Structure 1
């Protein structure tokens, strides 16, 4: 521990307090004294104490009673009982109520007491480190819990979006199939991407006609050129080859599909191209 470490000695005998101060005067930490349990509690309200050494038998409040209060309010402080009476009941009571760190008999051995105090300070540092580690773990667990909750929420939202998109796609496909006219979707690479039932019937004489086939195998060069120009200029075009042949409306795809292809709508009269 650094010189910021603080020791509080509590005893109703002033001579004992002076002896403890002399014993610890060469140490690197601060030493405070109190002549009663109540005075010790008052000091603890304003001082950051790491180790408290208290006599057990004091007039108004015993060391065990003092430690019982400290345990509830300042649980990290390391508690040492210093007494000249070593009866079993006193020791048991101090352990159960005050959760003491050490029980040291008077008269004490100076060297041993210094060592016990240093070890108590090390124990304080370890306790604080463990508490901070536990707090960090709790905070990280909470962060992880929140992240998992956010992830689950994002997955639910994405699943809902996909369901809506699938539903919209199914609806679009149903509408497309319900149209009474042939409709083709041609990609910018010149591939048949979509063909409704009327389009499939219209090209029924072409056994190889199907989505995925090259459009130029089934459409005239004039139509292929019109598709390319519509996509390039992003403007619809209408092809009227002759009164006997269907008029073909070429509409380029827009929005996020801009430049990806065009939709062809065949209008009556419908005859073989």
Structure 2
């Protein structure tokens, strides 16, 4: 078994990562030597084997792009070798070069896709070089397509993962919104059930909520919603008035307390409560 780098110059080290690898399989050493001399100019990384089994051994340990094999070899015919090469290494391009025209064996191998080209000995140098170059060109296209398909699969997987993460986040946000809405409904109901009047103002001083007790206390009732508190209820929201003070409404005294919201939550605005203190002093 012989390994030869046809692209290396005399005395220069062999390339560690050859880009184009060619495997020549023939039981006649003079044929292998002639092929090496012919193809050296094309800068291929050339591997040689003297039998089909040796060829399979080389395929197991090297990344081969193109195979050129003889047909009539001891132990294993070229068609059988190329058939096994196709089964084990389908990405290779396979060429048969033989002086024997065993039509049926060659026809079967071609029909099975085991052979890309069939050439006879003696060969035409330029024709052989052209066919091998074409095989490498097609192999390069196949490799590019495989690489692009892999990149597409990876991009699709990444996109699917991103979509799944986005869906999970959206579900979490929707769940949080639902919980917030339930909490808000509970808070509204609790405020409605309180016997003392309660009003809620947003951060701009607009009346955002009036409970039943407050609606019954003021003539406008629910119509206060959306009104400017300072204009709608000036007796409660005089400029620069203290946060806690006493007012007279309907002849009754009420202690008014205004509580700023947001100390323990993300809420804004203020909560105003009115507590009846009895007859005015």
Band the TM-score falls in, shorter-chain normalisation:
0.7 to 0.9
Q: TM-score, normalised by structure 1?
A: 0.85
**Within the alignment, does 1:81 sit opposite 2:96 as a pair?**
yes
CA distance in structure 2 between the partners assigned to 1:266 and 1:171 by the alignment: 21
Among 258, 274, 277, the residue aligned to 1:250: 258
**Counterpart residue number, 1:234:** none
Among 251, 255, 273, the residue aligned to 1:265: 273
Q: 1:224 to 1:103 in 2, by over 3 A?
A: farther
1:94 offset after TM fit, Å? 1.2
Q: TM-score, normalised by structure 2?
A: 0.83
* Preserved CA contact (<8 Å) 1:65 1:97: no
Q: 1:270 to 1:186 in 2, by over 3 A?
A: farther
CA distance in structure 1 between the partners assigned to 2:278 and 2:74 by the alignment: 115
1:244 offset after TM fit, Å? 4.1
**Within the alignment, does 1:20 sit opposite 2:28 as a pair?**
no
Bigger mean CA deviation after superposition, 247-256 or 207-216: 207-216
Deviation readout 1:131-178 (Å, 9 max, x if unpaired) = 111111111111111122222222222221111111111111111111
1:119 offset after TM fit, Å? 0.8
**Counterpart residue number, 1:240:** 246
Query: Secondary structure of the equivalent of 1:224?
Result: coil
CA distance in structure 1 between the partners assigned to 2:271 and 2:138 by the alignment: 79
Among 172, 178, 190, the residue aligned to 1:163: 178
Query: Secondary structure of the equivalent of 1:25?
Result: helix
Bigger mean CA deviation after superposition, 109-118 or 181-190: 181-190
* Counterparts of residues 108-147 of structure 1 (less than 5 Å): 108-147=123-162
CA RMSD of aligned residues (A): 2.6
**Within the alignment, does 1:180 sit opposite 2:192 as a pair?**
no
1:108 offset after TM fit, Å? 1.5
Among 53, 58, 66, the residue aligned to 1:38: 53
In structure 2, stretches of 5+ residues that fail to align are 1-5, 8-17
**Within the alignment, does 1:190 sit opposite 2:205 as a pair?**
yes
User: Which one has a larger percent helix, Structure 1 or Structure 2?
Assistant: 1
Q: 1:80 to 1:152 in 2, by over 3 A?
A: same
Q: How many residues align?
A: 261
In structure 1, stretches of 5+ residues that fail to align are 230-236
CA distance in structure 1 between the partners assigned to 2:133 and 2:86 by the alignment: 20
CA distance in structure 2 between the partners assigned to 1:30 and 1:105 by the alignment: 23
CA distance in structure 1 between the partners assigned to 2:225 and 2:279 by the alignment: 21
